[in-house]
């Protein structure tokens, strides 16, 4: 008789223990054990956060253990069990690790591979080859592509209720986020009551009163300086949407006829506009993507408006980026004036508000939703469909796609659906957003997700030309740290370019990502070299961690003060100068109800969750090889250095930039 010691670790999440019958079968190279009931008595049930040890006795030596089969059968009630990890100690003293990190629901069974990561071409055992094939066949039935809405990348073919338990939010996260949503809704409800008994906005100061339950965490600095040109320009570099600004090498005169005479009073170096262009001191933010997009009409009682502005910016002698000309629509003409800092204060204030409002809508629908959330879901679904749990790239990516399908499914059901937050609060409704996304997807490129190339493509890569661009500076440090980590892991398993080319699973994964993009796909359809694979995986991890953090967690900081980021405008863009006053401006801003709904959502989405896992934190041991564990340790040390560098710089800044500090970057898109 041979005795195998089996240790089973149960998760520590709420409701992760089980009182059901749990059966185990060991499969070795030389044979299999009988199906063994582990919890034979009531006192053997699996308590959350504990390790249970059992002896499995067999008649013959099974050899090296390659598979473990778990089965759950109902006992009294049918509960859910979360198995983290299984360790098998053989009679000869060899120890085999079996990472699980799965929920067993209903009468479910799970078959686990031994934890050593393997490429498909390295699997020589017919038993493990068959398991690999069966796992992907099952996954492709569960993770099905769906064209949720014309224009969007493809998504998961299910509603939240029917998602696999392994991709749903855990109970404690759901509870924590639910409390935040309740606070946001209560704040909105109180404001609805106030609105019934109070006249519309009386002035800018009146806007400070809408944060009742939600504590106003917006920096006083923003409230005091929001209308200053330097802070308006600063947000193009380090605000919620730091990807719109480009170096302007030639004015688009055919649609934006700015003249020397218009702006010469704002150029502080004694140079002409042409000379400032040549010196690299002129920048532009063009919202052409909004041209022709109809404004939200879901509320017949409140007309809403949208523009497609162009904003010319100037780097002054203090190295501040400031606006020097704003045109609110794309086609020049008499009814589309170019607003200037020398105009009356209300004209200039309203012109900047219009830019900020359009920026809000582009940020929410495109920079944030499309280019992080929806793109991440494509990577996630393709990974589940083509990379088995034993694949090293699966093990590398799985911490970085945690909850992404869940949060996106919730967004489709509550944010961008009919009657969702976009319909209720934004200039662009949920239905119209699809048309805008469709336009973007036609020109969307893989290289736009490669952070260094995206920065360079906008002419924003020089620290000398563009100082104080902390999004760029911090992003580059994080990108390089991620890339070095990915490189260390890839080179452990892929010894040559030929190894990459021979990995049919990674090639199918890349091909399926293209399919999930739904439109003309500029993404690679295959990977030829180690270098290609390293860059591709760096793009995935950076997008779902750092890029999302940069455009998500500052939402309440910058939009918590309504005039700085109006979600919609209730008056049309001014067609003449000297026609508006403060009353017109206040009537243009979102009403109290809309402002509150948007602010509540922005606040809830800007909060870190309890037990948040930040970049480089990998408590689940998917990898068992020491070489990878060493690479993870090196990665964490590099990230700590980046964090310290950012912290030291921020201590000297009046407005710290922390969105890309690694200790503030969650591993995945989970909010």
pLDDT in tens, 80-99: 888 999 999 999 999 999 99
Could you tell me which of 263, 318, 207 has the C-alpha nearest to residue 562?
207
Query: Could you give the 3-state DSSP secondary structure of residue 40?
Result: coil
Residue 42: pLDDT band (50, 70, 90) is: low
Contact 609, 671 (CB under 8 A): yes
Could you tell me which of 18, 119, 31 has the C-alpha nearest to residue 67?
31
Per-residue model confidence (pLDDT) at position 197: 36
Out of 11-20, 30-39, 240-249, least confident range = 11-20
pLDDT of 603 above 80: yes
Q: How far apart are CA 615 and CA 595, in angstroms?
A: 33
Out of 132-136, 203-207, 393-397, 436-440, least confident range = 203-207
Mean pLDDT of 60-87: 87
Per-residue model confidence (pLDDT) at position 46: 80
Residue 598: pLDDT band (50, 70, 90) is: confident
pLDDT in tens, 152-191: 999 999 899 999 999 998 864 554 445 455 455 555 554 5
Per-residue model confidence (pLDDT) at position 185: 53
Q: How far apart are CA 287 and CA 249, in angstroms?
A: 17
Residue 523: pLDDT band (50, 70, 90) is: very high
What pTM was computed for the model?
Answer: 0.95
pLDDT in tens, 102-121: 998 876 789 999 999 999 99
pLDDT in tens, 411-469: 998 889 888 888 989 999 998 999 999 999 999 999 999 999 999 999 999 999 999 99
Contact 438, 153 (CB under 8 A): no
Residue 137, judged by CB atoms within 10 A of its CB (0-12, 13-18, 19+), counts as exposed
Mean pLDDT of 362-369: 98
Contact 279, 271 (CB under 8 A): yes
Residue 261, judged by CB atoms within 10 A of its CB (0-12, 13-18, 19+), counts as exposed
Residue 462, judged by CB atoms within 10 A of its CB (0-12, 13-18, 19+), counts as middle
Mean pLDDT of 528-553: 98
Backbone torsions φ then ψ of 351, nearest 5 degrees: -60, -45
Element (H, E) at 644: helix 626-650
Q: How far apart are CA 324 and CA 316, in angstroms?
A: 10
Per-residue model confidence (pLDDT) at position 378: 98
Output the average pLDDT for the chain: 91
Per-residue model confidence (pLDDT) at position 490: 98
Q: How far apart are CA 438 and CA 564, in angstroms?
A: 28
DSSP per-residue codes, 378-406: HHHHHHHHH--TTSHHHHHHGGGSTTHHH
Per-residue model confidence (pLDDT) at position 205: 79
Per-residue model confidence (pLDDT) at position 208: 76
The more confident residue out of 213 and 132 is: 132
Q: How far apart are CA 670 and CA 614, in angstroms?
A: 11
Pairing of strands 81-89, 145-146: unpaired
pLDDT in tens, 606-651: 888 878 999 999 999 999 999 999 999 999 999 999 999 999 999 9
Query: Could you give the 3-state DSSP secondary structure of residue 368?
Result: helix
**Percent of the chain surpassing pLDDT 70:** 92
Residue 571, judged by CB atoms within 10 A of its CB (0-12, 13-18, 19+), counts as middle
pLDDT in tens, 252-264: 999 999 999 999 9
Contact 639, 500 (CB under 8 A): no
Could you tell me which of 525, 523, 529, 524 has the C-alpha nearest to residue 501?
529
pLDDT of 17 above 80: no
pLDDT of 198 above 50: no
Q: Residue 436 corresponds to which tokens in the numbers above? A: 């805008």
pLDDT of 43 above 70: no
pLDDT of 196 above 70: no
- Residue positions counted in the chain: 671
Residue 193: pLDDT band (50, 70, 90) is: very low
Q: How far apart are CA 511 and CA 516, in angstroms?
A: 9
């Amino acid at each position: 008789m041979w005795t195998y010691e089996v240790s089973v670790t149960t998760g520590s999440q709420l409701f992760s223990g089980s009182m059901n019958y749990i059966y185990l079968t060991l499969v070795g190279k030389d044979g299999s054990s009988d199906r063994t009931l582990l919890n034979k008595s009531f006192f053997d049930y699996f308590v959350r956060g504990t390790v249970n040890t059992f002896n499995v006795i067999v008649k013959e030596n099974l050899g090296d253990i390659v598979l473990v089969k778990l089965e759950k059968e109902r006992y009294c009630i049918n509960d859910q069990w979360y198995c983290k990890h299984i360790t098998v100690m053989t009679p000869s003293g060899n120890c085999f690790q079996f990472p699980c990190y799965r929920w067993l629901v209903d009468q479910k069974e799970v078959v686990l591979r031994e934890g050593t990561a393997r490429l498909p071409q390295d699997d020589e055992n017919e038993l493990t080859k068959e398991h690999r094939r069966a796992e992907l066949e099952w996954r492709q039935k569960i993770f099905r592509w769906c064209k949720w809405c014309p224009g969007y990348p493809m998504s998961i073919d299910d509603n939240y209720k029917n998602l696999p338990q392994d991709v749903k939010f855990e109970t404690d996260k759901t509870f924590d986020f639910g409390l935040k949503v309740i606070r946001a809704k209560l704040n909105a409800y109180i404001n609805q009551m106030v609105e019934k008994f109070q006249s519309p906005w009386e002035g800018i100061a009146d806007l400070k009163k809408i944060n009742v339950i939600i504590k106003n965490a917006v920096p006083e600095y923003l409230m005091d300086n929001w209308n200053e040109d330097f802070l308006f320009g600063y947000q193009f570099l380090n605000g919620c949407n730091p990807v719109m600004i480009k170096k302007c090498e030639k004015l688009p005169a055919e649609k934006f006829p700015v003249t020397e005479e218009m702006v010469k009073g704002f150029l502080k170096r004694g140079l002409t506009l042409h000379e400032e262009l040549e010196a690299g001191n002129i920048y532009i933010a063009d919202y052409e993507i909004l041209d022709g997009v109809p404004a939200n009409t879901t509320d017949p009682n409140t007309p809403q408006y949208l523009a497609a502005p162009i904003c010319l910016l100037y780097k002054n002698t203090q190295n501040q980026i400031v606006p020097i000309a704003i045109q609110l629509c794309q086609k020049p003409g008499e009814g589309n004036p170019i607003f200037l800092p020398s105009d009356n204060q209300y004209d200039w204030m309203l012109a900047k508000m219009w830019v900020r409002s359009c920026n809000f809508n582009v940020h929410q629908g495109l920079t944030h939703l499309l280019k992080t959330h929806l793109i991440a879901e494509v990577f996630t679904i393709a990974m589940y469909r083509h990379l088995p749990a034993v694949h090293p790239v699966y093990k590398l990516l799985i911490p970085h796609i945690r909850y992404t399908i869940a949060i996106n499914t919730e967004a489709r059901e509550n944010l961008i659906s009919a009657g969702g937050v976009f319909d209720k609060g934004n200039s662009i409704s949920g239905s119209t957003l699809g048309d805008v996304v469709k336009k973007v997807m036609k020109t969307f490129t893989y290289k736009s997700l490669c952070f260094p190339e995206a920065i360079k493509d906008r002419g924003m890569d020089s620290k000398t030309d563009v100082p104080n661009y902390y999004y760029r500076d911090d992003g580059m440090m994080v990108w390089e740290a991620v890339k070095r980590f990915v490189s260390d892991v890839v080179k452990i398993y892929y010894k040559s370019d030929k190894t990459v080319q021979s990995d049919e699973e990674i090639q199918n994964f890349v091909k399926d990502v293209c399919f999930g993009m739904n439109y003309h796909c500029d993404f690679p359809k295959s990977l030829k070299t180690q270098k290609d694979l390293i860059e591709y995986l760096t793009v995935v991890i950076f997008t779902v961690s750092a890029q999302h953090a940069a455009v998500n967690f500052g939402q309440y900081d910058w939009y918590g003060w309504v005039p700085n980021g109006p979600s919609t405008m209730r008056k049309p863009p001014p067609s003449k100068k000297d026609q508006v006053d403060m009353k017109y401006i206040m009537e243009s801003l979102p009403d109290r109800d809309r402002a509150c709904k948007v602010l509540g959502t922005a606040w809830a989405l800007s909060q870190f969750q309890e037990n948040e896992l930040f970049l480089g934190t990998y408590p689940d041991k998917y990898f068992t090889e020491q070489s990878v564990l060493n690479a993870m340790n090196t990665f964490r040390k590099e990230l700590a250095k980046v964090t310290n560098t950012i912290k030291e710089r921020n201590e000297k800044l009046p407005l710290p930039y922390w969105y890309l500090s690694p200790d503030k970057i969650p591993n995945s898109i989970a909010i």
